Structure 1
């Protein structure tokens, strides 16, 4: 049976569908996923087709443009309404080109008329020079005729017609294009202003991009919360906290990353594979756990090295904030880990723009990463002093930078391997 189904495309009418529904329901449910065309279907039959497919576990999308599609649009998981009388951009462009042609013709006619009038005036002036007596004698008789010529001049009537046509065109342009919604728009969450079903591809691409963005935001928020929680707890045990200046700088550097990571646009081509449907899957849980394990190990290493470099001192909780090596090291490491989390967990292709294509996100990451590197490497002591950070010893500075680079590389490799083994890249 399966070879026969795979070699042929099936079409079913409304009457045949009702017959199979009443007499051979099991056979209908077996064959309905392979039917390509549903012809001559009544509104209730369309609803039943959608419900049967949903009952088999399929995600359904229905598009329609009339009242008979309202029921199916309501029952489908995704509904797209198509307008019966959409705005035709080609006709508007043709009308605009015709108007420009009329303007060009009218301007050429006006220039030709001006040239002819100038020749006529020059000829009349010459005749006036040669025959002054004739002009003087015929002045009274020519005046009424000239007045009648001006009154009945065909050029003036043509100019009036052109002005009237121009006013009419201006009124047409000022009219607001009103999109007339169809009956299907009442039941469908999405409405396309074109009759083509190409809008379905746009809905799928936008939906996949939104899903991927939501999933990556969950991962980023989880990792950043864990890193910040450990950093604050370590400092609290020694009676230290982040200063107001440090917290403000951290918020400003990460705010741009949070803003631009959600502004990614979908690709123009529809990908073959599907994104992971929810956050509770093996790939997401494992990548978050393993990435935090790497972050946790790096933080422990930085804290122990700082405690070994400088002995602990008793801190007065009531005194004014004073930075020390542990505070500066943990702050720089936590900030670097949060920036690395954005860079590693940004999904990109094949569902959305890559990091190189999303320029605002790329620039924000480069700026934040450069700021962390500048502060950690000691390239600008004045800037570190403004951010209330102490100068790190040379040996400890190298260890901190090496730890940041190792963490970034290890998290990137682990995330890509898990995505290839357990994520959406399996279906490629």
Structure 2
């Protein structure tokens, strides 16, 4: 379970990094630190999961290279790429201002590409824990590992709050910009590429 989640999260991070690099966008240090700390905490709490109290009739999968494991990982990655990553890139291309120029060597500037990629990445990290947690019949269900369950609930709640922009100060503290409205999409003055400053 640990290797499966770690492998999935590593590939998801590589997808996100490639998308940002192609647009010449840097990662924010604060964003990376917060996400890494929370993900590391979830990994630690996963390691504290306990086995089921009764032995199962079937034998658990003992290799991460077994075909059921590889098939589920491939389906998750394909679903993410086709259902989330590609539509997100196309949406960003429509909202990209003509004057926007990425610079990997310059200072980090919050922008829509970074915000969208960061939210996608953190959402998929949380989903990888929820989808790949091994419960019945070999381990206790997620509801028994209450610290992990509450941490994931907090993680998902924070992602929803940032994506819905209900607390602009939280977005600002994480260097996440506000989404552009329909009037500003593609006119070269998209609000999503302007650095957010609270009133």
User: Which of 221, 225, 236 pairs up with 2:10?
Assistant: 225
User: Which of 326, 329, 333 pairs up with 2:120?
Assistant: 333
4+ aligned runs moved over 3 Å, structure 1:
316-319
The answer to whether the 8 A contact 1:332-1:372 is kept is: yes
Aligned to 1:300: 86
SS across alignment from 1:264 = coil
Residues 150-189 of structure 1: pairs in structure 2 closer than 5 A: none
Q: How far apart are residue 364 of structure 1 and its match? A: 1.1
After superposition, the C-alpha distances for 1:404-423 in whole angstroms (9 at most, x for unaligned) are xxxxxxxxxxxxxxxxxxxx
Q: How far apart are residue 317 of structure 1 and its match? A: 4.0
Show structure 1 runs of 5+ residues with no match.
1-215, 396-428
Alpha-carbon distance in 1 for matches of 2:65, 2:103: 45
1:275 aligned onto 2:60:
yes
Larger relative contact order, structure 1 or 2 (CA cutoff 8 Å, min sep 6) = 2
The answer to whether the 8 A contact 1:227-1:296 is kept is: no
Alpha-carbon distance in 2 for matches of 1:318, 1:228: 20
Q: How far apart are residue 219 of structure 1 and its match? A: 1.3
User: Which of 132, 139, 142 pairs up with 1:345?
Assistant: 132
Aligned to 1:388: 175
Q: Name the one with the larger helix percent.
A: 1
SS across alignment from 1:374 = helix
Alpha-carbon distance in 2 for matches of 1:367, 1:287: 26
User: Which of 133, 146, 165 pairs up with 1:359?
Assistant: 146
* TM-score (norm: length of structure 2): 0.86
> Which is higher, the Rg of structure 1 or of structure 2?
1
User: Which of 106, 115, 120 pairs up with 1:319?
Assistant: 106
Aligned to 2:191: none
Q: How far apart are residue 379 of structure 1 and its match? A: 0.8
Q: How far apart are residue 372 of structure 1 and its match? A: 0.7
After superposition, the C-alpha distances for 1:56-97 in whole angstroms (9 at most, x for unaligned) are xxxxxxxxxxxxxxxxxxxxxxxxxxxxxxxxxxxxxxxxxx
Show structure 2 runs of 5+ residues with no match.
183-199
The answer to whether the 8 A contact 1:235-1:241 is kept is: yes
Q: How far apart are residue 318 of structure 1 and its match? A: 4.3
SS across alignment from 1:227 = helix
Residues 58-73 of structure 1: pairs in structure 2 closer than 5 A: none
Tell me whether 339-348 or 251-260 shows the greater mean CA deviation.
251-260
* TM-score (norm: length of structure 1): 0.41
Q: Name the one with the larger strand percent.
A: 1
The answer to whether the 8 A contact 2:49-2:140 is kept is: yes
User: Which of 259, 263, 275 pairs up with 2:44?
Assistant: 259
Alpha-carbon distance in 1 for matches of 2:58, 2:132: 19
- What value does the CA root-mean-square deviation take over the aligned residues? 1.4
